[in-house]
Structure 1
């Protein structure tokens, strides 16, 4: 690794000198399209559907969903840094973004075949878990592109704009599926709720949405070419783990604060993922929201989260990423505890404390991405964001496992809230000692 880059500085050499608005918009459309998976599949529609009474006991199925996502997290933890490393070496970052994205599109479309019957539960869980695995692989390459479309002065704004586009895309798509298929007794094309058809058709719409809006980044952002100083010979897949171990050891020696941040973000970003993954399930199972009411809440939540994230992106460039992350985590923990403690208060509790909770998720996610992006040496983005995936949301067995464990021990879904809050608290405590101003040296 060569060169020095300071967190919050304006002269990090790994970033381009000028931001292309066209490329930023094209890049951010992937975030817009990804709402089809994040909002519709994993949070507010499909996971709510398969944890409903049509598939069996709600508390039991909710725990099973947690274990399925935990297994998916283990797979990503093992594979994500290697896939990122190999995309850096091969110079095919955009290619693998496209491949993994369209695998997710295919898996989302396959959810159409999950009928409202206990015999289809396993298929539904497998598709959700597999979708999470390949979505994380795609995210590794997508996040690595951040340094290709932003500058040192705009990286926070660009990252926040991308996250905000994701939330806005979620709003638009949720409005389409709610008024087009889920809310009416007879929706577009004569679709009804019988045998879960309205939700199943929604999965086809979500797949088409993601596939369509993933195209701009593939056409407008040039393929990545690693700088000569960062190029390394290609090695076998298994040998990649040896190279990875050597790189981690070197990172520990040359930029220990980066390692500390990766560990801290491993915890708190997994908690952030848990908030959205189980938010819709909690709304339906604990607070009695109907599927339609869950979507209405989701639209409101995406409005709040999108505005907060775009604003926080500008503050990130001025104040630095760490203050944004710390403030957001404290806000999340306070609001989450209110939801847990007041769970008997009815829907008003979730509409107030739950909606306030969404105010902090996006800023924490976006600022975490920019914190790391400012530190990565050129030619290593895919690999380090692969580590970022592994040590963060990709190790997503933590929050789902804690959620499932709490539900299993206490026998009620609302205890899962406390499991996620504990994950966020541990992540916050590990983040506090990490130095916000740090150097990468090599």
Structure 2
């Protein structure tokens, strides 16, 4: 993929894009941000720390799912309330790297502190605070990093750039997961890792130090691999002093919010993405917890599930970027939602005794639920990578380049507006059905608790036809 100087091409929306010339190392520096950040989502949010928290730190799996939803929901609420404001201020001042540095430091410190999440929940409140702060730091860093994307390549290359970067991120997540499962996290009963080895650095299996080390490893990994972006990727010039930028940024945000309902495509995209990305994030956040509680999977099994999802995620993001360039990002997003909805139904309807809510009969079908869950995980990984990469380029289609950081702030708002509602809904639903007054088992409470994911996907799909894509429409940023 060539990222050298390019000639001007058709504009995206009302702005005219000048020629872009960014050195190859600047492009790779930006792409490595996804590589640097993916272990946070892979190790902390999904496959290692979250199920460890639910199974060993919280009192029981259902309570762990409830508390995890509370912590991630609080972090999402903080992002929802502040990201559009900070995005508008950043657009007025210009450079994005100072913002990335501040929130990166917050995320690194919060992830590192997860080491103190010892079994038994001795510091459970502090752990939940650290999880919320880690979500805030890592998600805000991504907001400002994403906003740099339109200044790196011409519009025709954005889909491929976004897909390649997301695929690279999945590879980073895969390698970090192999490192943790193969060399650090051991089963308490055997004291051995997935590769049959004793944990490195003398990590104590009984105290689950290998699982807890996912936090410091994530922090170190991010700190090292985010450096090329700071060193080599060009940032835009400062536009004005911070004092005036706050006033101007807030004024521009107010104007955007007033005219947003008239910009039908932009408004519809933010609304649609609010629902389908929240569903995807909830699926990631609670998938490992669900498998641990309903299928009684060990951390090793969940890790293998994660390895498969990351492999297919890298492939899906790469292929999605090529499909984006060929057919436009809206086609990629729509197809991904359909597949993710079907996978969610398969996951929710699978237990040790049932698949698609139909009872299993016979000893020979004992492993069928595990197989079904692995198949669902493969497709979730592939379509999850493609939908997130395509969503970045579909957002860029909706606004002129001078409003792109504000747009990614609103994009974070649209995702986090229900991002805190989704986990809260799962938390409340799980607690509601786990109540002794209803007589549901812990397993049934978990199944019913994650059902809102399907509804969120379907709402997002219904809203997508109102969204315009640059690949098909020449003026996607208009207000018609």
Cα distance between partner residues in 2 of 1:150 and 1:374: 14
Pairing partner for 1:76 from 64, 76, 79 = 79
Query: Pairwise mapping of residues 316-395 of structure 1 onto structure 2 (< 5 A)?
Result: 316-344=324-352, 345=354, 346-393=369-416, 395=418
1:159 CA displacement: 0.2
TM-score by length of 1: 0.91
Give the match for residue 248 of structure 1: 257
How many residue pairs get aligned? The number is 433
Give the match for residue 199 of structure 2: 187
Distance 1:372 1:194, change over 3 A: same
Pairing partner for 2:34 from 31, 34, 44 = 31
Tell me if structure 2 keeps the 8 A contact 1:4–1:441.
no
Query: Pairwise mapping of residues 131-280 of structure 1 onto structure 2 (< 5 A)?
Result: 131-183=134-186, 185=192, 186-225=198-237, 234-235=243-244, 241-253=250-262, 255-280=263-288
Distance 1:135 1:364, change over 3 A: same
RMSD of equivalent CA atoms: 2.4
SS in 1 for 2:295: coil
Cα distance between partner residues in 1 of 2:417 and 2:19: 28
In structure 1, the gaps of 5 or more residues are none
SS in 1 for 2:332: helix
Tell me if structure 2 keeps the 8 A contact 1:312–1:324.
yes
Give the match for residue 421 of structure 1: 454
Tell me if structure 1 keeps the 8 A contact 2:106–2:133.
no
Cα distance between partner residues in 1 of 2:118 and 2:37: 24
Give the match for residue 43 of structure 1: 46
Query: Pairwise mapping of residues 75-114 of structure 1 onto structure 2 (< 5 A)?
Result: 75-114=78-117
Cα distance between partner residues in 2 of 1:16 and 1:136: 30
SS in 2 for 1:282: helix
Q: In proportion to residue count, which structure has more helix?
A: 1
In structure 2, the gaps of 5 or more residues are 1-8, 193-197, 355-368, 435-444
SS in 2 for 1:182: coil
Give the match for residue 437 of structure 2: none
Pair member with larger Rg? 2
Give the match for residue 293 of structure 1: 301
1:168 CA displacement: 0.5
1:322 CA displacement: 0.6
Cα distance between partner residues in 1 of 2:302 and 2:10: 47
Instruction: Spell out, residue by residue over 1:368-412, the C-alpha distance to the aligned partner (whole angstroms, 9 max, x if none).
Output: 110011333122221111011101146411321232233123221
Distance 1:232 1:211, change over 3 A: closer
Cα distance between partner residues in 1 of 2:275 and 2:18: 27
Distance 1:16 1:159, change over 3 A: farther
